[in-house]
Structure 1
Amino acid sequence: MNREQISRHAHHDHPIAAPLDDDSVRRLLAHGIPRDDARVLDLGCGGGEWLLRALAAYPRLRAEGVDIGKASLAHAHEAAEAGGVRQRLTLHHQDAATFPASPVFDLVVSVGATHAFGGLLPTLAAARKHLAPGGSVLIGEGFWAHEPSPEAVDMLGDLSDLPTTVDRVVGDGWTPVYGHISTRGELDAYEWAWTGSLASWALDHPDERDSAQALAAATTHRDEWLRGYRDVFGFVCLVLRPTSDRKAPK
């Protein structure tokens, strides 16, 4: 079972692949989408959930998603068909980091996908290339809420604390116009859903070839979360507008 398959099963009951509840997602989209006929791009869209919700909420909105996962894009296609929004959604099977620049989007989304670009600031640099004048970026990134152990850093990477994360964004030429810090409830609900959905699939399909691997992955993830990073990890989403046309000087 590859990473994409594990992620698909793990997000079955929490299709937003980030620690956000439905109200938080709705508010973030409302602050990022300027008008009903906006154009939205998701770089690293996965199953397209952000785009599907935007399309459902804004009847004249048009959206595009980019991802390397064929199965995830197929799921997005099927969900768009079922939701009656397929004609307003374009999907690209491509590396989001090399997706050709097209500065026509009013909102560029990249939540929980900064690893695909090599970090927070490279993600913002990629997003900027796609922004129409006056456009916004909705980005989601992890941060250390408390001092992490070396084991937690090994699991999740070399993150910054929240003030430093925001300072880095501002120093790169962006102004936050809205933000949301995931609550303890959102963080825990996401992890329980991730591990529980994957474990449930394994238990419900004991004869599947990948069942034992899926159950082991759920068990390992749950142990890493509870013992490794639950008390130190945070997640922030920011709606950003360019402060200037160029990166701010250091």
Structure 2
Amino acid sequence: MDDTAPPPRLTRLTFHGPLSEARAARIVGRLARAAPATVLDLGCGWGELMLRVLEAVPGTTGVGVDVNGEDLARGRAEAAGRGLAGRVEFAEESAVDTARGPADLVLCLGAAHALSDAEPPAHIPAALAALRRLVAPGGRVVLGEGFWERAPTPAELGAMWPGAHAGELTDLAGLVDLATAAGFRPVWVEAAGADEWDDFESGYQADVEEWLAAHPGHPLAEETRERVDRHRTSWLRGYRGVLGIAYLTLVPAA
């Protein structure tokens, strides 16, 4: 092990969000039945769900858009390892006002903030308007977006991300209402369970926690420890059991 290297990043995660293998398989199965010819993944990270759709629907092509070059490199390597390199492009660019699309399937998983410069709570209607523009007639959108499982207390809000406030998200019914107001019909409504959240949050930090235990004197150890401790506190004292994430499969209304 290189004692001078920085901590590894997100190697324990398959998906960059609270999404189980079982739920992902069900989502991909439903999407594959619609046989999309083109897929657009906005704020894609390494594009795991997009790659699985491409595997499930021979001939389908995809484009993933993100500003994180490290994640995109991981996506390209995954695509090459699965024989999909000729069918997918990973583009390092902003998704705000993107000229990509329209596509038969548009994915936006935990990345509504990447579609506009609007501040919460306006970011969700803005993202839905962008998704409505980017999906082809008769196509599908899968939106993974946050909502409040219950109203957060002041103490919980204080432990969350900087500036967290109760008005920046709605409940699940309100999120679906925003989707219908944007010109969609909700074909499938589901939300991540507690086990999916715990698996994601633990996997998000597992690499770094092990690295910290093995490298207490590393030059990056102090700032890394502060960062992961702050994130764990935000999760366990702030949004655990309060913040949900919905996976909405939407079709554009004629």
TM-score, scaled relative to structure 1: 0.86
CA offsets per residue over residues 29-82 of structure 1, 9 Å max, x none? 222344446211101111121222222222322111001111111111111111
The gaps in structure 2 that reach 5 residues or longer are 1-5
CA distance in 2, matches of 1:63, 1:160: 31
CA distance in 1, matches of 2:225, 2:232: 11
Aligned residues: percent identity? 33
Q: Does 1:181 align with 2:191?
A: yes
Contact kept? 1:203, 1:211, Cα under 8 Å = no
Write out aligned runs for 1:48-197 (5 A). 48-103=47-102, 105-116=103-114, 117=116, 118=118, 119-153=123-157, 155=160, 157=164, 158-197=168-207
Partner of 1:248: none
Contact kept? 1:202, 1:212, Cα under 8 Å = no
Contact kept? 2:135, 2:252, Cα under 8 Å = no
Shift of residue 209 of structure 1? 4.0
CA RMSD, 1 decimal? 2.2
**Residues 171/130 of structure 1: CA separation in 2 closer, same or farther (3 Å cut):** closer
CA distance in 2, matches of 1:33, 1:111: 17
The gaps in structure 1 that reach 5 residues or longer are 245-250
**Residues 102/231 of structure 1: CA separation in 2 closer, same or farther (3 Å cut):** closer
Letter in 1 for 2:96: A
Contact kept? 1:196, 1:218, Cα under 8 Å = no
Contact kept? 1:46, 1:73, Cα under 8 Å = yes
Secondary structure of the corresponding residue to residue 190 of structure 2:
strand
- Number of residue equivalences: 237
**Residues 101/14 of structure 1: CA separation in 2 closer, same or farther (3 Å cut):** closer
Write out aligned runs for 1:217-232 (5 A). 217-232=227-242
Letter in 1 for 2:45: G
Contact kept? 1:143, 1:233, Cα under 8 Å = yes
